[in-house]
Structure 1
Amino acid sequence: MFNLDAEKRSFTTIDVAHPLYEKPKVAQGFIRLEVTRGDGAPVSIETNWISFAMGQTSFAFEAYFGEDTGHLVETVGLMTIIKMAKGSYEIRDPFGNKPWKVAALFGKGRPDENLQGDNFGQGKFVVSEVLDGPARKYIKGVFEFTFLDRNKELVRVEAKEFFAESNNG
């Protein structure tokens, strides 16, 4: 079910270097995340420190939790290899035994750095609103996924709400 062979996973370990993939850029947005490790109590964190990009064949989203001191901070990320539309998507491990369209990571990162986590998650991503126009890109939704950390403890990550937008015009 979970890939335990990885020491560290990152979005750059996935072969998505096709010409239409857009790297996430600083954007406006908000996310409220609940992280539960093992049998522990859920920890709520939120931020408006967001990067995202949306193109014809991909979507990338990262949210950074903590102060921008130049060091890595807790980060959650989503990446797709499909155009985003309203609907529900399964989050899968790109290195698993089933085809994937949406990948998710929770770990350490910062803008223009490589987000790294212990393992890719498995779960669900629900897009409630999306706009992919020439002057404005916007997405709103919820997601939840689980993964095993390096100590083989189950971690549950849930975005009770998130949105991101950028103005290109």
Structure 2
Amino acid sequence: MAGQGAEKRSFTTTGAAQSLYEKPRIAQGFVKLEVTRGDGAPVSMETNWIGFGMGETSFSLEAYFGEDTGHLVETVGLMTIIKVAKGSYEIRDPFGDKPYKVAALFGKGRPDENLQGDNFGQGKLIVLDVVDESARKYIKGKFEFSFLDRNKVMVKVEAKEFSAEYGS
């Protein structure tokens, strides 16, 4: 997949034979995001339309920016192939040369559909608090990553704060 065009990059939470990641479900929370394209001014976005999943070996977060009209909206997504704990994690391209544990993508999506974007990002996820109990799942943190879009413009995506929770 490393040789595929940027327009073919997407997040998927299920594979043909088994679940790859905990499928995100609608959750309570928020993401405050700043997106900067090239030398342009940062664009601030905020949402509480969150999809979130946490399992024994994975974590997934999708934040949807816009109204739920049934169409795709701007979306940011994070996925891990590890159980997350408090700490700092490097965000890498899952199809790159180095092994990854955390992947991030910014593009278009909506619940129960693949998030599609130009390219996976490189950056950092910092988990400030996490609860992984059978009755309650919660995460709080921040992240930032950058990627080249299909026009070869550097895009920086930064969440100075996010949280997501489901359960009691």
- TMscore range, shorter length: over 0.9
Q: CA deviation at 1:11?
A: 1.5
Q: CA deviation at 1:15?
A: 6.5
Task: Please identify, of 42-51 and 3-12, the stretch whose mean Cα deviation from structure 2 is larger.
Answer: 3-12
* Alignment partner, residue 57 of structure 2: 57
Q: CA RMSD in A?
A: 2.0
The question of whether the paired residues in 2 share the 8 Å contact of 1:145 and 1:157 is answered with yes
Structure 2, unaligned stretches of length 5 or more?
none
* Alignment partner, residue 149 of structure 1: 149
The question of whether the paired residues in 1 share the 8 Å contact of 2:14 and 2:20 is answered with no
* Alignment partner, residue 66 of structure 1: 66
* 1:7 aligned counterpart, secondary structure: helix
* Alignment partner, residue 39 of structure 1: 39
How many equivalent pairs are there? 167
After TM superposition, the structure 1 = structure 2 runs for residues 16-165 of structure 1, keeping only pairs within 5 Å, are: 18-19=18-19, 21-165=21-165
Structure 1, unaligned stretches of length 5 or more?
none
| Post-superposition CA distance 1:67-104 (Å, at most 9, x none) | 00000000000000000100000000001000000000
Identity %, equivalent residues: 77
Q: Alpha carbons of 1:20 and 1:40: their partners in 2 closer, same or farther (altered >3 Å)?
A: closer
Q: Matches of 1:18 and 1:135 in 2, distance apart?
A: 24
Q: Alpha carbons of 1:144 and 1:3: their partners in 2 closer, same or farther (altered >3 Å)?
A: farther
